[in-house]
Amino acid sequence: MKGIANLSRRLMILLMVSLMAAVMTATPAEASQITITGSTTVQPIAERIAKAYMESHRAMKVSVSGGGSGNGIKAIIDGTADIGNASRFIKEQEIVMACGKSVYPVPFRIAYDCIVPVVHPENPVKNLTIEQLKDIYLGKITNWSAVGGSDQPILVVSRDTSSGTYEVWEDKVMKKEAVFPGVRLEDSNESVVRAVASQKNAVGYIGLGYLQDSVKPVSVNSINGSETTTLSGAYPLSRPLFMFTKGWPSGELLDFLNYVLDPANGQKLVKASGFVALINAGASDQLSAGSVIQPGANDEAFEPPSTIRTAQTYLNTLNYDAGPVDGVKGRKTISAVMAFQKAYGLPVDGRLSGQLIETLSDQYRKLRK
């Protein structure tokens, strides 16, 4: 009996040790974790927000890495990341790929950026037109003297083709033409900065948040890239930045994205990172909390309740937080309308004009296709 009792005690001790080991092993695995990867342009925003979020959510771990917009979207389709950062919208072939795997990528517009051409600080050139930039990157303009600079050859620096920044440049500047083979390709905004800073005859392009004293920004069509010109739509090389999720997020992932979009939290950190927050708080603060969105003067067929509720539905679907659709008043709806107007170059007046309804409907239909 004594031997059996000793055996029982030994088994009990062994069981307790095993349980303690299991608990110790399980603790890290049970800690909530969010994995973010993709665009190197969005990366510094995501890193800054992740750090702040973890400070206020001690049980959370948020890891952020780069790799390019295409890799970010691929990661959420494959399920290897919770969030895919992208500095451009999802492509048609990526949607086809996602549908083939029964995945519905959901876009969250988290900031605005503008792509700024940069030269060495000693370069006298201050402005370039879209046409001049295109010809430089096509290899048609090869000397700075042709655009008002010194008689020196131009060293052309570009982002690599997997970059969302490159794809926006290809669309807005190159008009879908490829850069010429002699272009020096770099894999990040930082490496473009280093390349231009080290070569007096170089030209490159970077996101607004990467500007520093080692390079000089060049205006485009005589318009400087800035927060103001980005929000107004005046700057020709501005763009939205996105976080994509695999389906509609829930739980901790939804909480994190709400934190990113919160003007008092994530959007402040967007600005601190050198990028442009979704809404210019100064403009929306001029509206009273009970303001009603009014129709434009020429909108004779305007029907306030039904049109506003439809607009709220569309805006919410397009990730402009317009609030609930059971009311026609509210600051959220006005702010969402103004943000949409800024994004699409419409008059920023907080009104549901016919032009806004048409543009909003077109964007909604594109998203739902």
Which CATH number do you get for residue 72?
3.40.190.10
Specify which of 303-312, 318-327, 334-343 reaches the highest per-range mean pLDDT: 334-343
* Predicted local distance difference test score (pLDDT) of residue 297: 32
Q: What is the mean pLDDT of residues 339-363?
A: 80
Cβ 18 vs Cβ 62: under 8 Å: no
Domain membership of residue 99 as a residue range: 29-112+239-272
Q: Classify residue 25 by burial, with Cβ atoms within 10 Å: 0-12, 13-18, 19+.
A: exposed
Q: Which of 191, 131, 111, 127 is nearest to 159 (CA)?
A: 191
73 with 90: CB under 8 angstroms?
yes
Residue 41: is its pLDDT beyond 80?
yes
Last residue of a domain, which of 219, 249, 272?
272
Q: Are 172 and 314 found together in one domain?
A: no
Q: Do both 152 and 221 map to the same domain? A: yes
The pLDDT, as a whole number, for residue 299 is: 32
Answer whether residue 168 shows pLDDT above 60.
Answer: yes
Whole-number average pLDDT of the chain: 81
In a domain, 17, yes or no: no
For residue 128, being part of any structural domain is answered with: yes
Q: What is the pLDDT of residue 285?
A: 29
346 and 299 assigned to the same domain: yes
The whole-number average pLDDT for the span 123-145 is: 97
Please report which confidence band the pLDDT of residue 320 belongs to, taking 50, 70 and 90 as the band edges.
confident
270-298 pLDDT per residue, tens: 988 888 898 754 333 222 222 334 433 33
**156 and 88 part of one domain:** no
Within a domain: 159: yes
- pLDDT bracket for residue 239 (50, 70, 90): confident
Structure tokens at 52: 């702040």
pLDDT score of 92 more than 60: yes
Average pLDDT score over residue span 45-49: 96
Model pTM score: 0.58
Count of domains forming the chain: 3
- In a domain, residue 20? The reply is no
Q: Do residues 145 and 215 both lie within one domain? A: yes
The reply to whether 257 and 342 lie within a common domain is: no
Residue 309 lies in a domain: yes
Is there a single domain that holds both residue 137 and residue 219?
yes
Residue 7 lies in a domain: no
Do 120 and 51 belong together in one domain?
Answer: no
The single residue listed with the structure tokens 């959510």 is 57
pLDDT(301) > 80: no
For position 14, what pLDDT does the model report? 37
Q: What does the pLDDT read at residue 56?
A: 94
**322 and 229 both lie in a single domain:** no
pLDDT value at residue 47: 97
pLDDT the model gives residue 278: 86
Q: What are phi and psi of 292, to 5 degrees?
A: -105, 135
